[in-house]
Amino acid sequence: MNYVGIDVGTTGIKALVVKDDGGILDRFDHPLKVYNPKPAWSEQDPRDWWNGVSDILRSISQKYKIDSIGLSGQMHSLVALDGDGKVVRHAILWNDQRTTAECKEATKILGGENKVISEVGNPILEGFTLGKILWVRKNEPDNFKKIRHVMMPKDYIVYMLTGELGTEWSDASGTACYDVKARKWNLKVLNSLEIDPELFPPISKSYSPRGMLKASLEKEFGWKNVKVVCGGADNAVSALGIGVFKPGDCMVSVGTSGTIVGVTSSTEPDLDGKLHYFNHVIDKTSYYMGVMLSATSSFDWARKMVASDDSLSKIEEMIRNSPPGSRGLIFLPYLNGERTPHRDPYARGVIFGISSLSKKEDIMRSAIEGVTFGLRDSFELVKQRIDVRSVKITGGGSNNMEWVKIIATNFKVPIEIPKTNEGGAYGAAMLAAIGSGKTFDDVSKWVKVRDTVEPEKKLIGFYDSWYSQYRALYLDLKERFKEVEMIS
């Protein structure tokens, strides 16, 4: 049997064709455009996702017969459809920060943040889906009147593939109107905010088939009896894809955003609201997650500024040639605000400590160190909730061995690099396999460790001190960020 795993990301769509034993037969990519109509706003056209997926499946069909398709996708992003299943407006993405007023108002209506967390397992944050729905209702009433269905990106693709509406528990967890403990839409929250529960699709298990591929698409692709499995949220599916699905397993994902996932069997959310608490794609399992909004996107920004003509291997050499601490530079990677632990939509990027001695390699290293510190913020919180037994890394940043070494040193634990490090697309193929009859134990055998990176013990003390300076710098600037935003 052959399975297709599709990951609908922010910068692009990736698809893998995977054999029955977990071996990868082929890979396909399609770039995506992000629209930024205003500072800290972020949108995409769902039809671009569908066009990309269609092109990829068309290419796959020319080479392979497929038995099932699994999906992974960016979390939280609002896809709004009308009664005919047509897109009402561009999707408002996970990293969009426009909904602060709506989130505060909803939290007040629901009785305060502690009450909200007790109801849905998480606070109502700018990135989550609920605030986006409220923003559209307030600011685009004509569009809001047209909306009949609300869903997440990968669910839109499943709908286009099968004609069936639905979602599953891992993506529903990130809407702020789903009860993570009870695994169902929270009608109390929706009714209190006067949102029609009928807008939201039915919820299935992440690995259950949503439906069969449409007859018209089977005819176009030359396939028969292809199952389409519900899939899951990108971080949960990425975690599955590298073997992080048992309590105590931990994932570091260094992609466009940066995440720390710690798997748990606990049903208790983080009442402080600093860590997200979401359902995993596996029965009776959830995870605590910390998120920074600009991880490799901070690296890409720095590269564009000072090293756009240099290859990635050259940049890795540059990083080695800059000492720990980047000759006094501290990089705050808050290009689009920050989520964990600050929950600050006003925070912005900073390069602190520039002198006449600063070189471009110092700027590149400081960007990597700054992102690492942002990840460490989340890791320190996750360690308070679970007994970490292993840490695996995924995402584009995991290909930079110097960066992985810096992360291992800051986390003070060995970091395992999976042999197959394809993140959400590989996990989506696993879900496709499970939906076709395999077990979690079957697909867990697909995961192998390629390398283990140990901490540099001699640098642990230094990085503890430098991390303290990083944290203090944000606190020094916190109010200034907001004041500047108000003026501009």
Give all domains of the chain, ordered by start, each with its CATH number: 2-235 (3.30.420.40), 244-419+456-488 (3.30.420.40)
- The residue-averaged pLDDT of 379-397 equals 95
Helical segments of 112-214, H only: 113-120, 129-139, 141-146, 153-162, 169-172, 187-192
- pLDDT for the residue numbered 255: 86
Taking residue 432's Cβ as centre, other Cβ atoms within 10 Å add up to 31
The position carrying tokens 């286009």 is: 160
- pLDDT for the residue numbered 178: 97
Peptide bond into 341 cis (omega under 30): yes
- pLDDT for the residue numbered 470: 98
- The residue-averaged pLDDT of 155-162 equals 98
Do the beta carbons of residue 25 and residue 2 sit within 8 Å? yes
Do the beta carbons of residue 244 and residue 392 sit within 8 Å? yes
Confidence grade of residue 417 (pLDDT, cut at 50, 70, 90): very high
DSSP string, 388-425: --EEEEESGGGG-HHHHHHHHHHHTS-EEEESS--HHH
Contacts of 343 (CB under 8 A, 6+ apart): 123, 125, 273, 274
Confidence grade of residue 86 (pLDDT, cut at 50, 70, 90): very high
Decide if pLDDT at 72 tops 90.
yes
Q: Residue 142 corresponds to which amino acid?
A: D
C-alpha span between 362 and 353 (Å, rounded):
11
List pLDDT tens digits, range 246-299.
999 999 999 888 999 999 999 999 998 899 999 999 999 999 999 999 999 999
Do the beta carbons of residue 445 and residue 413 sit within 8 Å? no
- pLDDT for the residue numbered 440: 87
Question: If residue 28 lies in a helix (H) or strand (E), which one and from where to where?
Answer: strand 24-31
Confidence grade of residue 395 (pLDDT, cut at 50, 70, 90): confident
Mean pLDDT of all residues belonging to the chain: 96
Task: Choose among 306, 288, 293: nearest CA to 332.
Answer: 293
- pLDDT for the residue numbered 89: 98
- The residue-averaged pLDDT of 33-45 equals 94
- φ, ψ of residue 113 to 5 degrees: the values are -65, -40
Helix 401-411 / helix 360-385 crossing angle, nearest 10 deg: 40
- The residue-averaged pLDDT of 51-78 equals 97
- pLDDT for the residue numbered 402: 95
Taking residue 283's Cβ as centre, other Cβ atoms within 10 Å add up to 12
Structure tokens that stand for 223 in this block: 């396939």
- pLDDT for the residue numbered 345: 85
Contacts of 214 (CB under 8 A, 6+ apart): 161, 162, 163
Of all residues in the chain, what percent are helix, strand and coil, respectively (each to 5)? Answer: 40, 20, 35
Decide if pLDDT at 343 tops 90.
no
C-alpha span between 251 and 313 (Å, rounded):
25
Decide if pLDDT at 488 tops 80.
no
Helix 360-385 / helix 312-321 crossing angle, nearest 10 deg: 90
Strand partners, 287: 263, 278
Supply the DSSP symbol for 432: H
- pLDDT for the residue numbered 29: 97
**Single pTM value for the model:** 0.90
Decide if pLDDT at 32 tops 90.
yes
Confidence grade of residue 369 (pLDDT, cut at 50, 70, 90): very high
C-alpha span between 188 and 176 (Å, rounded):
12
Do the beta carbons of residue 332 and residue 352 sit within 8 Å? yes
List pLDDT tens digits, range 178-194.
999 999 999 999 999 99
C-alpha span between 260 and 239 (Å, rounded):
10
C-alpha span between 330 and 428 (Å, rounded):
37
DSSP string, 310-353: S-HHHHHHHHHHSPTTGGG-EEE--BTBB-TTT-BTT---EEE-
Do the beta carbons of residue 410 and residue 370 sit within 8 Å? no
Torsion of CA 238, 241, 247, 251, to 10 degrees: -50
Residues of the chain with pLDDT > 90, as a percent, come to 91
Confidence grade of residue 423 (pLDDT, cut at 50, 70, 90): confident
Q: Measuring CA to CA, how many Å separate 65 from each of 16, 330, 426, 432?
A: 13, 51, 18, 14
